[in-house]
Structure 1
């Protein structure tokens, strides 16, 4: 096959698509604006291991990712761990791992606890999400788990995740969260299993990149693309492509909003539809500490007065082997117009550390060996009611121009597993047309 495809974005979706295409004899060039590939799964060095800039783990049900790992000979690196989780509410930590923890969760009445547990359990067996599309998460949770459960737990969590759009979020989004976490427990509802790759998921990104280049593909880093242009004789040129290459097909793997903002042949209607989709940015502060904060892996923060929604103590899940520090993530979702997004990294870190001292009054900043703040402008699509009507097609109205982004994996939520699935899907679509 002599066709040539230009792929904009070197995240897991773009790399998977490039890998599938190049293995079929298609010439591919991947353009990544950052200094390293990986997108939201990009990593930084931490001693003898790599660490994702944004927290990552996988589930036992992540078939597409696990199949790819086997194909690449990386499956032996995937380990499975049982996390201990907690929730911070009313200025104290409560264990929140097992059904028994829920039954002991005194901030809610016993009736609310039972209704919440039944809802969580039942969600994993629901296959048809269409009846939920017309409902908001708020209405669905109140109806099924009760007003107290919603006000005490779910309302602050939705507000922390979606801010001003919390009341717009579809019931499909929260149902899928329940379903995914339930599936990670298998037949034993008391034991959840989460996966992580020894040495970090940089191993997967590196292996994919290696396979692409060894098969003749090209990956250009530090290479932002500012425009996609149709050529008179067919095909595309990309503004920012250093060699003035021409491509038979172009694949954009950023957000629909980013594609709409580029100089492209999309018409005004297409641009408007893409740009009106909502998404939240993410601020993620990584702390390398000389001691652990707690014995929990995942702490959900259900208080609006704390400036982050998650405390994730990575080394409490995977252990300290090869890690020179205890690794903690603090995660916050915001609008790009939010005042905190406009602040400097130093200011945001100070705000987050003040919040951490509220959760752990004994925390001392002298424990910090290194801190790193990472920003992702399009980290979480806002799934509103009837979102199935809004999902952009993989094939745009411009012949030969494709879009593959996390906004299109509905009804599932974002995750590496679905990035791999989407990369394979769009590669198959391109191959069919070629």
Structure 2
């Protein structure tokens, strides 16, 4: 296929899944790519650590059957056949009581809700995506929408705590469109996938693909300066120049290293971000076998339990359990010593599961990430920053650009695909020249042309 990218020099900032997918796609299209990552590992939230001769992810991940963009990427690098698909189950922990939450019969026995509320919850949940069609959900508060369809008590008892755990104090103001899109990805899906051996293999395969295309991958290379002219200065003092620079860095991080001219050119979108504190337990016994269980009003700081071994299997005879708390990176919890969090959360986990004892906890590790989930304001589609930074060779491919798709590896890969396609169209011989054409394509994407948010 003819491409306008052949021979173009591109520097990609950030070695998370979006940056890796960008560099992979650009290399396949003939561009000369250099990927720069400040940390000592690639993968972003998919980084890992060694545990008893195995690699284990710091944060939990899964593949959904609807993740078309991610599955296509897995296929291209020869990893798709490693994905093992398994049925998974969900639980709920409310006021310290454990409930299965998978079938209509489970819902009918869900005593935190009154009998008529259980029926209403089931019917509304079944119809919720259909109920959102034709509504301007981007300008409708999640709280207003869900209160209206579920009722005040279901919202206050169940839904508000769950949304609050995800988005913090502004949880009710998040556009309902975000939830509607999430339903499109996960609704009625009980089967999930996980690559045999973990995501380490996918990240390695992407690196090999980039380097086979002639690209360069740099880790442990923090960027200290990016100029409006496209010069990238590394902490080592080296300066890299290119025809285009694509940044996958969170917008606050990019602003902190931009020169004055670039800072003025960057879109004035000040999104708050939720970080996460995540503890990974290595247990000698399983818990309930529920892959995912929200925890509501149960005396724990963490608000969700992921039994990863229910999907990915045991690691050296140990059952992996992740617990997490989304929180601002400036919060007291985020700044607290990891060892103190590990000790306190171990006590809380043991208290939450009556059959679990401290002796069952073989090891626990705490990991944190500062920029996990943007907290989108109402009407964000009209405020969403363009991909092209006008008057510069810089393009943006960040979590601020995946909305209304759910922040995930799939949406990040989809964004990378769209940005590469946009850049190719902008420079293809015979097409209109320059950023004006690229900006027009971005406008088309943001207005829904070509279903840009399919995730």
TM-score by length of 2: 0.87
Distance 1:28 1:130 in 2: 42
Residue 352 of structure 2: which of 359, 366, 369 is its match? 359
More displaced 10-residue stretch of structure 1: 360-369 or 381-390: 360-369
- The unaligned stretches of length 5 or more in structure 1 are 185-191
Preserved contact between residue 298 and residue 352 of structure 2 (Cα < 8 Å): no
Residue 198 of structure 1: which of 196, 203, 215 is its match? 196
Match of 1:33 in 2: 38
Match of 2:249 in 1: 254
Trace 1:157-196 onto structure 2 (pairs within 5 A): 157-182=162-187, 184=189, 192-196=190-194
After TM superposition, give the deviation of residue 359 of structure 1 in Å.
1.3
- The unaligned stretches of length 5 or more in structure 2 are 1-5, 428-455
More displaced 10-residue stretch of structure 1: 344-353 or 61-70: 344-353
More displaced 10-residue stretch of structure 1: 113-122 or 8-17: 113-122
Match of 2:211 in 1: 213
Match of 2:233 in 1: 238
Match of 1:62 in 2: 67
Preserved contact between residue 18 and residue 427 of structure 1 (Cα < 8 Å): no
Match of 2:126 in 1: 121
More displaced 10-residue stretch of structure 1: 343-352 or 259-268: 259-268
After TM superposition, give the deviation of residue 113 of structure 1 in Å.
1.8
Match of 2:227 in 1: 229
Distance 1:48 1:290 in 2: 18
Match of 1:263 in 2: 258
Task: Describe the SS at the equivalent of 2:187.
Answer: helix
Please tell me whether residue 330 in structure 1 is matched to residue 323 in structure 2. Answer: yes
More displaced 10-residue stretch of structure 1: 293-302 or 125-134: 125-134
Distance 2:304 2:292 in 1: 7
Match of 1:187 in 2: none
- Cα shift readout 1:145-170 (whole Å, capped 9, x = no counterpart): 11111111111111211222222222
- Cα shift readout 1:53-88 (whole Å, capped 9, x = no counterpart): 111011111101111112222221111111121111
Match of 2:337 in 1: 344
Q: Identify if the C-alpha distance between structure 1 residues 343 and 266 changes in structure 2 by more than 3 Å, giving closer, same or farther.
A: same
After TM superposition, give the deviation of residue 49 of structure 1 in Å.
4.5
Task: Describe the SS at the equivalent of 2:387.
Answer: coil
Preserved contact between residue 228 and residue 392 of structure 2 (Cα < 8 Å): no
Distance 2:236 2:175 in 1: 39
Residue 146 of structure 1: which of 136, 139, 151 is its match? 151
Match of 1:405 in 2: 398
More displaced 10-residue stretch of structure 1: 25-34 or 294-303: 294-303
Residue 303 of structure 1: which of 269, 272, 297 is its match? 297
Distance 1:323 1:59 in 2: 26
Task: Describe the SS at the equivalent of 2:139.
Answer: coil
After TM superposition, give the deviation of residue 47 of structure 1 in Å.
4.5
Distance 2:97 2:283 in 1: 22
Match of 1:189 in 2: none
Preserved contact between residue 120 and residue 178 of structure 1 (Cα < 8 Å): no
Task: Describe the SS at the equivalent of 1:347.
Answer: helix
Preserved contact between residue 80 and residue 196 of structure 1 (Cα < 8 Å): yes
Match of 2:436 in 1: none
After TM superposition, give the deviation of residue 179 of structure 1 in Å.
3.0
Preserved contact between residue 84 and residue 194 of structure 2 (Cα < 8 Å): yes
Distance 2:335 2:198 in 1: 30
Distance 1:380 1:305 in 2: 24
Q: Identify if the C-alpha distance between structure 1 residues 384 and 237 changes in structure 2 by more than 3 Å, giving closer, same or farther.
A: closer
Please tell me whether residue 395 in structure 1 is matched to residue 391 in structure 2. Answer: no
- Cα shift readout 1:112-152 (whole Å, capped 9, x = no counterpart): 22222222222344685752122211111111011111111
After TM superposition, give the deviation of residue 351 of structure 1 in Å.
2.9
Distance 1:241 1:26 in 2: 25
Give me the CA root mean square deviation.
Answer: 2.0
Q: Identify if the C-alpha distance between structure 1 residues 132 and 298 changes in structure 2 by more than 3 Å, giving closer, same or farther.
A: same
Residue 280 of structure 1: which of 274, 278, 283 is its match? 274
Q: How many residues align?
A: 421
Preserved contact between residue 129 and residue 172 of structure 1 (Cα < 8 Å): no
